[in-house]
Homo-oligomer: A and B are copies of this chain.
Amino acid sequence: MTETEPQKSGTIRDRQYQAIIDAAIEEFSRHGFRATSVQAISDRVGTSKANVHYYFKNKETLYSKVLDHIVILWNSSFDQIRADEEPAVALERMIRAKVRLSYTHASASRLFANEILQGAVHLGNYLRHTQRQWVKNKVSIIQSWIDSGKMDPVDPAHLIFLIWSSTQHYADFETQVLTILNRAEYEEEMIDAIAEFLCQVILKGCGLRD
């Protein structure tokens, strides 16, 4: 955190700021940018519409701050896999971390999905620079594992997409998954079972098990 970013505890201002951000994540994640009203956010905080505008000059900047928040979370959570690791170990760690992230930060995941689905208007630069570079880096590591015969020759970029899609699915399509499985909400053991299932199929699918 920098000194320009308010802290959770401290002055009323800082607590209000954080409360608005938290409420905004929930609202934006369910309805996207356009369909979310400042009224809904202020209701959730328990303050007035006008007060939200006092802290954030308009809806756009509030949305941007929320996205910044999530991008920082994403970047810090994306595991740094290294070329000198065993691919089975590194990929399993990556899959398990992403499954947990989808569980602990489901709203953030849905907000991200909403933004991409609608064309990533506000995240274009992040995708083009930060994330493209991140993928490029991981692709070259995976390729080095393939070249040294440690795993099957699979397309590294699509492997990353497969890990992203299969793990995020449980956050983004939570409603569908829970409805079909006839559950009210996820439980710890179900999350572990999902991680175990994905590790089994994906790692074996890359020639890293059995």
Binding site for B on A (CB under 8 A): 30-35, 110, 113-114, 116-120, 124, 127-128, 131-132, 135, 152, 154-155, 157-159, 161-162, 164-166, 168-170, 172-173, 175-177, 179-182, 193-194, 197-198, 200-207, 210
Copies of this chain, complex-wide, total 2
* Extra pairs beyond A116-B176, A135-B180, A165-B169 (18, CB < 8 Å): A30-B117, A31-B32, A31-B35, A32-B32, A34-B35, A114-B114, A116-B173, A124-B179, A132-B179, A158-B194, A159-B197, A161-B166, A162-B198, A164-B169, A165-B165, A165-B168, A203-B205, A204-B204
- Are A162 and B166 touching (Cβ within 8 A)? yes
* B contact residues around A34 at 8 Å (CB): 31, 34-35
Ranked 8 nearest A-B pairs via Cβ: A205-B205, A201-B205, A34-B35, A165-B169, A35-B35, A127-B179, A120-B175, A204-B205
| Chain B residue at minimal CB-CB distance from A168 | B165
* B contact residues around A158 at 8 Å (CB): 193-194, 197-198
CB distance from A122 to the nearest CB of B (A): 12
In this complex, which of A110, A159, A165 has the most chain B Cβ atoms within 10 angstroms of its Cβ? A165
* B contact residues around A181 at 8 Å (CB): 157
Report the separation of the CA atoms of residues A159 and B179 in the bound assembly, to the nearest whole angstrom: 16
Report the separation of the CA atoms of residues A43 and B181 in the bound assembly, to the nearest whole angstrom: 41
- Are B172 and A117 touching (Cβ within 8 A)? yes
Which of B31, B35, B119, B200 makes the CB contact (< 8 A) with A175? B119
- Are A118 and B166 touching (Cβ within 8 A)? no
